[in-house]
Amino acid sequence: MRENEYRTHSCNELRITDVGKQVRLAGWVQKIRNLGKMVFLDLRDEFGITQIILNENVEGQIKDLTTECTISVTGNVLERSSKNPEISTGDIEIAAKEIRILGKCKNVLPFEINQKEAQDVREDLRLEYRFLDLRNDNIHKNILLRSKILKTMRDEMDRLGFTEIQTPILANSSPEGARDFLVPSRLHPGEFYALPQAPQQFKQLLMVSGFNRYYQIAPCFRDEDPRADRSPGEFYQLDLEMSFATQEDVFAVLEEVIPNVFKKNSEWKITEAPFLRIPFKEAMEKYGTDKPDLRNPLTISDVSKIFENTEFNAFKGKTVKAILVHNMQEATRKFFDQMSEYAVNELEAKGLAWVKIDENEELTGGISKFITPENKTALFELLNASNNDAIFFIADEFEKAQKIAGGVRIELGKRLNLIEKDIYKFCWIVDFPMYELSDEGTIDFNHNPFSMPQGGLEALKTKDPLDIYAYQYDLVCNGYEICSGAVRNHDQEIMVKAFEIAGYTEEDVRGRFGALYNAFSYGTPPHAGAAPGVDRIVMLLAKEDNIREVIAFPKNKKARDLLMRAPSKVSEKQLEEVHIKLDLE
């Protein structure tokens, strides 16, 4: 094998057994310690760090050395007199004979690269100089972990007999629940491609085409506002689909794949399969969200009936939710006030009522004077309350009360340090409503428009649309939705009826989803699938709170790529070629 011109070893490779060897290393200068007659360098590459000793006899441009320049060093391996147990090469150092500067670096860096907390640097500056930010050890390890996770996913899917197939990036517009990114066509004036929000139609067509099990690590594009757990514009998912499959078959596959991905890439415990299944309605009632963090032991109870005849104006005629918290004898009035402020300022609640239960099981503080003996007895029985507990109350219109109670539950879990540590807890959310009311009061798809309704065509014809459930499911881990999927509608008549209820005519369906519409006339097998989100899974396994920390080149909170300066203006000639005129104020 030909010897590399720049290095014979990595910066993590040499040990005490290599003393006396002449070697060549290459990397970035992480630190320079000038002691006069002797200069010490920490040389870093992707694998580790090795200490280099320089003196005035070393050939090369020592005077031009700066931190973060790249160099190649030739020298002999020595045993260190002052060993460093913090690094794997801490028993040795290299006495340099020759240095070549391979890539110069400015003396002044925009920020300190290898500080422990990269997040201490202003994020927009980090993203503008992302090529430097990625040299930070923590961020660099996240990207390497991402690669390892992707390999694990592919290994698992290959092992289970899935075939990797790529689907088009230039596709048609599809109602997936978000805005499309449109691409104008040069060859077809006035017509547009859409970047796929998901490979939904293509993977269903692959099932019609006779492929048994398909998967790909698929890029998806949605014009959505960013969040800490959602990257703006684009994301990746482990897209999969199975022929002749039911919901149970999909669960069986993912309850193998996902645990193995987590076990092979983390030391934390995980909940073993089969995962807990929670109907959507129950999740909303019990946790106030369809992505509950099961590490938090708190639950929500509906106590509306207990207060249906109350004279307390804040509860009168409202949905009233309650959260019981044990062992609150040490909680101060300040804690309750701060929780109330959080509910009002962050969750847009009208207020957060509360009571404490003393050691004699008497109600004290908060709204205790408005709770009658009958209310108290019913609360104790329903909530299983006892001395030294506290009860928090949220009263509002039904959906708002659920949502606010969910937010209060999460915050209480954090502030009281109730979240179970070092574990990934999974659950399935099942039985999603097929439809929902839009903001305009019309019937709209709740989840995925290509799902099979429970009860099939008869349910679509005879039931109130808002009472129809779909064979749709989400996989949730530690409060994050990490996978969404469904049993697919594979019947043309059911497809037309399902879209008709959501306001689409058969002509609309034929025009917008013509490929599926036609395919369903040619022997379509029952099929089902799902799509675990790669970015969120990596974020969880990297133990990061922000998804941008696990993406090599993310966009900022305003969906801008500060490194490549995108989006940007284009020339008039480019616009003419795609037949577009701008109409901007």
CATH of the domain at 340: 3.30.1360.30
On whether residue 285 sits in a domain, the answer given is no
Helices (H), 217-311: 247-265, 280-287
Domain assignment of residue 31, given as a range: 16-103
Q: What is the DSSP letter of 267?
A: S
Cis-peptide into 259, omega within 30 deg: no
pLDDT of residue 370: 95
Domain check: are 528 and 407 in the same one? Answer: no
Number of domains in the chain: 3
Rounded CA-CA distance 451/473 in Å is: 10
Residue 556, CB half-sphere, CA atoms under 13 Å: how many? 18
pLDDT of residue 119: 65
- Which helix H or strand E contains 34, and what residues bound it? strand 22-34
Q: What residues pair up with 394 in beta bridges, in sequence order?
A: 321
Query: What is the pTM (predicted TM-score) of this model?
Result: 0.93
Domain check: are 148 and 271 in the same one? Answer: yes
Beta strand 49-54 with 92-103 is: parallel
Both ends of the chain: CA-CA distance in Å? Answer: 64
Domain check: are 526 and 439 in the same one? Answer: yes
Q: How many Cβ atoms from other residues are within 10 Å of residue 63's Cβ?
A: 5
Last residue of a domain, one of 370, 386, 419: 419
On whether residue 563 sits in a domain, the answer given is no
pLDDT of residue 118: 60
On whether residue 566 sits in a domain, the answer given is no
Domain check: are 271 and 363 in the same one? Answer: no
Mean pLDDT, each 10-residue run in order, the chain (585 residues): 88 97 97 88 96 83 88 96 94 95 94 75 94 95 98 98 97 76 94 93 96 97 84 93 98 98 97 96 97 98 95 94 96 96 96 95 94 95 95 96 98 97 98 93 89 96 96 98 96 95 93 91 96 98 95 93 94 94 86
On whether residue 284 sits in a domain, the answer given is no
Last residue of a domain, one of 392, 419, 446: 419
On whether residue 124 sits in a domain, the answer given is no
pLDDT of residue 140: 96
Domain check: are 406 and 440 in the same one? Answer: no
Domain check: are 414 and 446 in the same one? Answer: no
Domain check: are 257 and 158 in the same one? Answer: yes
CATH number of the domain where residue 55 is located:
2.40.50.140
Domain check: are 301 and 414 in the same one? Answer: yes
On whether residue 6 sits in a domain, the answer given is no
Domain check: are 73 and 152 in the same one? Answer: no
Domain check: are 413 and 338 in the same one? Answer: yes
Asked if 360 and 295 count as a contact pair (C-beta separation under 8 A), the reply is no
354-390 exposure pattern, b = at least 16 Cβ within 10 A, e = fewer: bbbbeeeeebeebbbebbeeebbebbbeebebeebbb
Beta strands in 361-513 (DSSP E): 363-364, 390-396, 423-424, 426-430, 435-437, 443-445, 472-477, 480-487
On whether residue 1 sits in a domain, the answer given is no
Domain check: are 306 and 365 in the same one? Answer: yes
The pairs formed by 400-404 with CB atoms below 8 angstroms and a separation of 24 or more are 401/318, 401/319, 401/320, 401/321, 402/284, 402/285, 402/288, 402/300, 402/319, 402/321, 403/288, 403/289, 403/347, 404/288, 404/321, 404/343, 404/347, 404/348, 404/349
On whether residue 123 sits in a domain, the answer given is no
pLDDT of residue 384: 95
Last residue of a domain, one of 397, 419, 441: 419
Domain check: are 414 and 321 in the same one? Answer: yes
